Amino acid sequence: MGKTPLNIALVGYGFMGKTHSNAFLQAPRFFDLPYQPVLKAVVARNAGRVHAFAGTWGYESAETDWRAVVERKDIDLVDIASPNDTHAEIAIAAARAGKMVTCEKPLGRTAAEAQAMVSAVEGAGVANMVWYNYRRVPAVVLLKSLIDEGTLGRIFHYRAQFLQDWTISADLPQGGEGLWRLDVGVAGSGVTGDLLAHCIDTALWLNGSITEVTAMTETFIKERTHTQTGRKEPVGIDDASACLARFQNGSLALFEATRYARGHKALYTLEINGEHASARWDLHDLHRLQWFDHRDEGRVRGWRSVHITDSDHPYMKHWWVPGLQIGYEHTFIHQFADFLQGLGEGRSTPPTFRDGLATDCVTDAILKSAATRQWQTVSAASVKVG
Ligand code: SOE
């Protein structure tokens, strides 16, 4: 029986536009899905480059204004992979036009923006999802099951870091391709919304709601040339962010994100310590879960490094033979496969926009705490839903 076509319009053709396009193409090749993604249109402002991108990835058409695809009758899903300042406007218009909407993280530049996006998709009743892709790493999914089954027992501690080093040079401008992440007007915040948001999303998913935070942020390079004006302008983003937090379940957390950790390129690590067991995961070694179980026989008790490549590990039966690894791009493929599976069952797949809002509520509280030097209660909207 033929699959139902799902016509996609992608907005944005940067690094994330590629990860999403790859997922649209690969998901139906490796997973048995109720829908067949059709790459209908790609949108970006630069006409020459958007046509080239359409050719490379097999999009049927290219547009330079996102409004065109929102209006098109032959589009089912609008996928937003453009800079953060465009997320809300496009998502709200697409939802109002009855399109399904998927959006890169962070959902909004602020929780208020994210709230408006949630109201739009929920009001229109359209499927929605935020691309917090690290939830789809097989080792992290396995950890989620172990936690949910109670294997770790009562949770005491959660800690996560996301360390990079690519903005240390003071010569780097703010604004423009990739570097819009340094422009607070476009990005909304610095590492808090970009990197710490990943740590928070995974933490809310694994360990439940965060109730309060105390944080500090720092901007190490105070002025950078702005690509729009050609002049040195003050830098409004946070270059580093560190935070203590309490979870609803009584456990304590430590979070850190920076782009000034020389030598670290994308070192996302997390650790969780429970009454019976602890686990550690590291993006640079993403197919391994480090596991310690206190109930093991004393003489051989110790940390084990589990290679998550067997067919009974999450997602792995869809890939190669046991022992062979997968990588970063597969997390997007898994996420899109789950999205299509969810559509087939008539539901949105987490993380939904409401989950994205929950993360934005925590990052807003972190930024407010850093600005006021006070503990902040996290708003009720951060209640974890999926
Ligand atoms: C920033 O360098 C970045 O590309 C983030 O924007 C992504 O979300 C993260 O996964 C990798 O680093």
Q: Residue 348: pLDDT band by 50, 70, 90 thresholds?
A: confident
Say if ligand 1 is within 6 A of residue 194 CB. Answer: yes
Q: What is the predicted pLDDT for the residue at 178?
A: 85
SS3 of residue 158 by DSSP = strand
By most ligand atoms within 8 Å of CB, the mutation choice from 166, 180, 195 for ligand 1 is 195
Per-residue pLDDT reduced to its tens digit, 136-155: 999 999 999 999 999 999 99
Write out pLDDT tens, residues 162-195: 999 999 999 999 998 889 999 999 999 999 999 9
So what's the pLDDT on residue 84? Answer: 98
Q: Which ligand 1 atom sits closest to the C-alpha of 194?
A: 6
Residue 304: strand pairing partners: 291
E-state strands within 136-266: 155-163, 210-218, 223-225, 232-234, 240-247, 252-258
Confidence tier at 50 by pLDDT (50, 70, 90): very high
Mean per-residue pLDDT, 334-361: 97
Ligand 1 pocket residue status of 104, Cβ below 6 Å: no
- Give yes or no for residue 76 CB within 6 A of ligand 1: no
| Per-residue pLDDT at 14 | 93
Residues 6+ apart with CB under 8 A from 51: 62
Report whether residue 266 contacts ligand 1, using a CB cutoff of 6 Å. Answer: yes
Atom of ligand 1 nearest to the CA of 104: 8
pLDDT at residue number 369: 98
Q: Is the distance from the beta carbon of residue 201 to the nearest atom of ligand 1 less than 6 Å? A: no
pLDDT at position 53 over 60 = yes
pLDDT range class, residue 115, cuts 50, 70, 90: very high
- Average pLDDT value for the chain: 97
User: What's the pLDDT tens digit per position in 292-344?
Assistant: 999 999 999 999 999 999 999 999 999 999 999 999 999 999 999 999 999 99
The residue-averaged pLDDT of 278-302 equals 98
Distance of CA 15 from the midpoint of ligand 1 (Å)? 9
Q: What is the DSSP letter of 195?
A: I
292 CA to centre of ligand 1 in angstroms: 29
Q: What is the DSSP string of 302-341?
A: S-EEEE--STTSTTGGGSSSTT----HHHHHHHHHHHHHH
pLDDT of residue 177: 86
What's the 354 CA to ligand 1 centre distance in angstroms?
A: 21
DSSP count for the chain of H helices, then E strands = 11, 17
Q: How far is the CA of 73 from the centre of ligand 1 (A)?
A: 33
- Per-residue confidence at 1, pLDDT binned at 50, 70, 90? low
Across the strands, what pairs with 130?
A: 103
User: Do the strands 100-103 and 210-218 form a parallel or antiparallel pair, or are they unpaired?
Assistant: unpaired
What are the tens digits of pLDDT across the range 219-271? 999 999 999 999 999 999 999 999 999 999 999 999 999 999 999 999 999 99
Rounded alpha-carbon distances, angstroms, from residue 165 to 117, 194, 195, 262, 268 = 32, 14, 12, 5, 13
pLDDT for the residue numbered 367: 98
CA 5 to ligand 1 center in whole angstroms? 31
Q: How confident is the model at residue 67 (pLDDT cuts 50, 70, 90)?
A: very high
Residue nearest atom 11 of ligand 1, based on CA coordinates: 266
Q: H-helix or E-strand containing 291?
A: strand 288-293
Q: Does ligand 1 lie within 6 Å of residue 179's CB atom?
A: no
pLDDT value for 104:
98
In eight-state DSSP terms, residue 129 is: E
285: CA distance to ligand 1 center in Å?
A: 17
| 49: its two tokens | 């480059």
Sign of CA dihedral 377, 375, 279, 27: positive
The identity of residue 160, as a single letter, is A
Q: How far is the CA of 65 from the centre of ligand 1 (A)?
A: 25
